[in-house]
């Protein structure tokens, strides 16, 4: 009787696991099934060309790919230094009022509706500038990315055994040397993971870009004060159009986005050199 | 001139008083052991000497600690920590740095050498002094993480010695080592005391007996008895000390 | 506590040696006067003391090896080893005395006095084992002085004689020696209790 219960329990757990993972596999399957033919049909042109007129074939999503790349790089440049330093501050002064407040605020920011971030940036940048821009889009993405990087940085620093910190100070090193030469190095796996996760997340974000980046798919990058496109934004915009070829392009773009996504996340798990503590 | 002197030293962690008015003098160029049961404040006392206690936000110190007559609170804390080196219970060489760099870091930072050649010589000197040179001379560029526990601890000693300190603090340095490695470190201590003052915290009275010239018995943050090791171990004056030494405490 | 039990066992062994030594002193003069039973007993006492001393030695060394004792425990163990050795020596000497022959009235009387004084010393030491060491040193010193005085009187007497036996000289010598040995035992008891090294001779 107990053996039966045991088997039932195992079966239940397996079933629950399958149900949890199923959507992921389904998404993967759909995207691949619908996207691969598009890519095969479009060929390399699909990755380098520009958006065609409705009904005129596949063209390409080149500007969107470049746009995603530009936005991500800009966002990283803008947000990374601040985020890492915030994480460091939070880890070094955990009991100060600002430290405690920072940690709480960061956690709230992680869950913040990203569309509101977009609205905020629209308010302070897009409207005064008078147009959508890569700068605005990147800023919105940076704001979304920062809490992840900061929190991961803080966690990784906290996890370092205190004896290394003590040892560094005992050598007569000052705080900034201890933190930047010793602690950051020891925590590098965690920090890099945080950075990559932040990047991967914003590469696939749509809502922050809705009112900031604007979208630009017929011409390539025109300057950071001009509108710019991104793959998720493109998919959003194309799906709403009634044209068949646009829907195909959307599937193709989805596949490209998925591949980029996997290309970042799989290596995270494998290649960042672990510091043996 | 006493190497280290504490004057009515009191330490609180938040509202809990951990060190209750300790006044002791550590003679120059001797091995001074501080022994006592777990939680009696030995490690805290040690960290008051090189001001490492300040890293703890809730620690508060009253009273004074003097290094060769001068209060450590009147000195720059970097200077204090260079002159009073420390070796910890769990060996903590920086694992991402090479053996060479582990020693070189503190030296470069404290500007103790003027050229690469001087640095090389100092690194070799430090490794020889800590009886590690022969074992690592061909692999100075290897990461410190690849060493065994006993070697790591000797590297930490070398790292501290390279700064040419006056005093070396050792917080239960052999607690996590196998007996053979522990024995090597004890021999090292015996050799080093000719050149500097060593303060060693130990939870093993037997170790205090083996290595030290003077020993202090700390109990619940209070200094119970202090004196020459031979005298304390043959005929302690305080009953509490006797109880601790003969294992009849608690 | 494991070491406590060992120390208790050691103490009772040493007390047994104390009794053997004391008995040896009690009967040695009977043997000297020719009592065969006394002589046989003296021999047995010496043999038992030998064995017991070896045992005590062994137990002490083991205790040191296993427990690495310090402070009072260490002083206790080391002292017990040496006290046992003193008692064993005493039984050697009493056996020898009992094997000798003496019929000189004067000497026998002197020897009786010496033995009585020695037995008093044994009693003082017994009280010391129970904790009464306040006057241990002064008492033992005085008693040993007394034994020495009798010894000198006996030796003076014998040096005036033209035909005295070597046995008689040796008997006097041994009895004086036993006094010294008991003084040493007392000194070691003081060392255990107070950690001071003293002379008692």
CATH number of domain containing A150: 1.10.3720.10
One-character DSSP codes across C173-201 = HHHHHHHHHHHHHHHHHHHHHH-------
- Phi first, then psi: give them for residue B200, nearest 5 degrees: -120, 125
The string of pLDDT tens digits covering residues A223-256 is 888 888 899 998 998 899 888 888 888 998 999 9
* CATH class assigned to C2-194: mainly alpha
Task: Evaluate whether residue B138 is within a structural domain.
Answer: yes
Interface pTM, i.e. ipTM: 0.93
Identify the pLDDT of residue A274: 56
pLDDT in tens, A38-60: 888 888 888 888 888 888 877 88
For chain C, what percent of residues have pLDDT higher than 90? Answer: 87
Residue B147, domain member (yes or no): yes
Q: What are phi and psi for residue C127, nearest 5 degrees?
A: -65, -35
Is the Cβ pair C70, B235 closer than 8 Å? Answer: no
Which residues lie across from B143 on neighbouring strands?
B98
Q: Do B82 and A172 touch (CB under 8 A)?
A: yes
Task: Give the nearest partner residue to B245 out of C70, C194, C195, using CB atoms.
Answer: C70
pLDDT of amino acid A203: 87
Residue A99: pLDDT band with limits 50, 70, 90 = confident
Q: How far apart are the first and last CA of chain B?
A: 38
The pLDDT of residue A196 is: 86
Chains contacting C (3+ CB pairs below 8 angstroms): B
Higher per-residue confidence, C58 vs A204: C58
- For residue B145, the chain A residue with the least C-alpha distance is A276
User: At A213, is the pLDDT very low, low, confident or very high (cuts 50, 70, 90)?
Assistant: confident
- Region C113-135 average pLDDT: 95
Contact in structure between B97 and B144 (CB atoms under 8 Å): yes
Local confidence pLDDT in tens for the 250 residues of chain B: 899 999 999 999 999 999 999 999 999 999 999 999 988 889 999 999 999 999 988 899 999 999 999 999 999 999 999 999 999 999 999 999 999 999 999 999 989 999 999 999 999 999 999 999 999 999 999 999 999 999 999 999 999 999 999 999 999 999 999 999 999 999 999 999 999 999 999 999 999 999 999 999 999 999 999 999 999 999 999 999 999 999 888 6
- How many separate domains does chain B show? 1
C160-171: average pLDDT:
88
Q: Choose among B82, B85, B92: nearest Cβ to A164.
A: B92
Q: Is residue A57 part of a domain?
A: no
Which residues of A fall below an 8 Å CB-CB distance to B? 95, 161, 163-174, 177, 181-182, 185-186, 188, 275-277
Task: Considering only CA atoms, give the Rg of chain A.
Answer: 23
Is the distance from CB of C185 to CB of C88 less than 8 angstroms? no
Q: Using a CB–CB cutoff of 8 Å, tell me whether B234 touches chain C.
A: yes
Chain center to CA of A16: 28
Q: B90 and chain C: CB distance < 8 Å anywhere?
A: no
Q: Is B215 on the interface with C (CB under 8 A)?
A: no
CA distance A183 to A192: 14
Give the whole-angstrom CA distance, residue C158 versus residue C167: 11
Cβ distance B171 to B43 under 8 Å?
A: yes
Residue B107, Cβ density class (10 Å: 0-12 exposed, 13-18 middle, ≥19 buried): buried
Structure tokens, B136: 């690592």
Touch of B by C (3+ CB pairs closer than 8 Å): yes
Domain count, chain A: 1
CATH at B193: 3.40.50.300
Residue A182 lies in a domain: yes
Question: Which pLDDT score, from 0 to 100, does residue A72 have?
Answer: 92
What pLDDT score does A275 carry? 53
Interchain proximity C71–B234, CB inside 8 Å: yes
Q: How far is CA A217 from the centre of its chain?
A: 21
Crossing angle (nearest 10°) for helices B116-129 and B149-161: 130
CA distance A21 to A8: 20
Which among A208, A205, A203 has a CA at the least distance from the CA of A121?
A208
Size of interface A-B (CB pairs under 8 A): 74
Is there a domain that residue B21 lies in? yes
In chain B, which residues have their Cβ closer than 8 Å to the Cβ of A181?
105
Query: Rounded to whole angstroms, how far apart are CA atoms B209 and B211?
Result: 6
- Decide if pLDDT at A271 tops 80: no
Read off the pLDDT band of A214 (50, 70, 90).
confident
Do the domain assignments include residue A243?
Answer: yes
* Residue A88 within a domain: yes
Does residue B250 sit within a domain?
Answer: no
Tokens 């083991």 sit on residue? C62
pLDDT bin (cut points 50, 70, 90) of residue A260 is confident
pLDDT value of position C94: 96
Is B90 within 8 Å of A163 when comparing Cβ atoms?
A: yes
φ, ψ for residue B225, nearest 5 deg: -155, 150
Q: Is the pLDDT of residue C170 over 90?
A: yes
Best B80, B89, B105 residue to mutate vs chain A (most A CBs within 10 Å): B105
| Structural domain boundaries, residue A165 | 62-271
When pLDDT is averaged across residues A165-191 and rounded to a whole number, the result is 91
Contacts of C182 (CB under 8 A, 6+ apart): C86, C90, C118, C121, C122, C125, C140, C144
Better pLDDT: C173 or B248 = C173
Domain that holds residue B12: 4-245
Interchain CB contacts (distance < 8 Å): B and C: 30
In this complex, whether A and B touch, counting 3 or more CB pairs under 8 angstroms, is yes
Name the DSSP class of A178. I
DSSP assigned state of B167:
E
Could B247 and C71 be called an inter-chain contact, meaning their C-beta atoms sit closer than 8 Å? no
Residue in chain A lying closest to B143 (CA)? A276
């Amino acid at each position: 009787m107990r053996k039966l219960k045991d088997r039932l329990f195992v079966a239940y757990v397996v079933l629950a696991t399958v149900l949890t993972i199923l959507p992921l596999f389904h998404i993967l399957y759909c995207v691949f099934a619908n996207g691969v033919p598009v890519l095969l049909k479009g060929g390399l042109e699909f990755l380098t060309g520009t958006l065609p007129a409705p009904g005129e074939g596949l063209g390409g999503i080149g500007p969107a790919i470049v746009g995603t790349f530009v936005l991500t790089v800009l966002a990283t440049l803008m947000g990374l230094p601040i985020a890492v330093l915030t994480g460091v501050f939070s880890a070094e002064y955990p009991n100060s009022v600002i430290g405690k407040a920072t940690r709480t605020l960061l956690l709230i920011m992680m869950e913040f509706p990203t569309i509101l971030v977009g609205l905020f940036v629209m308010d302070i940048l897009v409207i005064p500038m008078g147009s959508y821009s890569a700068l605005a889009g990147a800023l919105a993405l940076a704001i979304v990315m920062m809490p992840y990087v900061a929190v991961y940085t803080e966690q990784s620093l906290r996890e370092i055994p205190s004896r290394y910190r003590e040892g560094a100070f005992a050598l007569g090193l000052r705080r900034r040397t201890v933190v930047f030469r010793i602690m950051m190095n020891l925590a590098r796996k965690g920090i890099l993971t945080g950075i990559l996760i932040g990047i991967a997340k914003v590469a696939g974000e749509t809502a922050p870009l809705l009112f900031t980046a604007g979208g630009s798919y017929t011409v390539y990058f025109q300057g950071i004060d001009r509108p710019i496109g991104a793959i998720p934004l493109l998919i959003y915009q194309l799906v709403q159009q009634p044209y068949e070829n646009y829907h195909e392009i959307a599937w193709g773009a989805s596949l490209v986005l998925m591949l980029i996504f996997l290309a970042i996340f799989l290596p995270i798990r494998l290649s960042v050199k672990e510091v043996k503590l | 001139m006493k190497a280290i002197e504490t004057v009515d030293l009191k330490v609180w962690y938040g509202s809990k008083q951990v060190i209750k008015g300790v006044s002791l003098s550590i003679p120059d160029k001797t091995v001074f052991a501080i022994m006592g049961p777990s939680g009696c404040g030995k490690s805290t006392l040690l960290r008051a000497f090189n001001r490492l206690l300040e890293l703890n936000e809730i620690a508060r110190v009253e009273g004074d600690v003097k290094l060769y007559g001068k209060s450590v609170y009147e000195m720059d804390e970097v200077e204090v920590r260079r002159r009073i080196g420390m070796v910890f219970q769990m060996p903590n060489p920086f694992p991402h740095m090479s053996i060479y760099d582990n020693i070189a870091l503190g030296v470069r930072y404290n500007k103790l050498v003027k050229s690469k050649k001087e640095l090389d010589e100092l690194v070799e000197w430090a490794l020889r002094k800590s009886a590690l040179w022969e074992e690592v001379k061909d692999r100075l560029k290897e990461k410190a993480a690849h060493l065994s526990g006993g070697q790591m601890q000797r590297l930490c000693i070398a790292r501290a010695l390279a700064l040419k300190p006056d005093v070396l603090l050792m917080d239960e340095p052999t607690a996590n080592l196998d007996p053979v490695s522990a024995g090597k470190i004890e021999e090292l201590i015996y050799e080093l005391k000719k050149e500097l003052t060593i303060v060693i915290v130990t939870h093993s009275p037997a170790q205090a007996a083996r290595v030290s010239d003077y020993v202090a018995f700390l109990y619940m943050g209070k200094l119970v008895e202090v004196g020459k090791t031979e005298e304390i171990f043959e005929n302690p004056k305080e009953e509490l000390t006797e109880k601790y030494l003969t294992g009849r405490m608690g | 506590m494991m070491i406590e039990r060992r120390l208790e066992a050691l103490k009772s062994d040493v007390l047994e040696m104390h009794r053997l030594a004391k008995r040896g002193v009690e009967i040695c003069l009977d043997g000297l006067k020719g009592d065969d039973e006394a002589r046989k007993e003296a021999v047995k006492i010496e043999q038992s003391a030998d064995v017991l001393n070896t045992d005590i030695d062994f137990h002490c060394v083991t205790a040191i090896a296993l427990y690495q004792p310090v402070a009072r425990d260490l002083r206790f163990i080391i002292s017990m080893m040496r006290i046992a050795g003193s008692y064993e020596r005493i039984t050697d000497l009493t056996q020898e005395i009992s094997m000798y022959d003496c019929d000189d009235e004067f000497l026998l009387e002197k020897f009786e006095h010496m033995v009585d004084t020695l037995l008093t010393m044994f009693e003082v030491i017994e009280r010391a084992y129970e904790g009464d060491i306040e006057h241990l040193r002064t008492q033992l010193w005085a008693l040993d002085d007394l034994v020495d005085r009798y010894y000198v009187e006996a030796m003076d007497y014998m040096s005036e004689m033209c035909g005295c036996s070597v046995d008689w000289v040796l008997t006097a010598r041994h009895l004086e020696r036993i006094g010294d040995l008991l003084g040493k035992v007392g000194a070691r008891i003081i060392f255990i209790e107070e950690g001071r090294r003293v002379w008692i001779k």
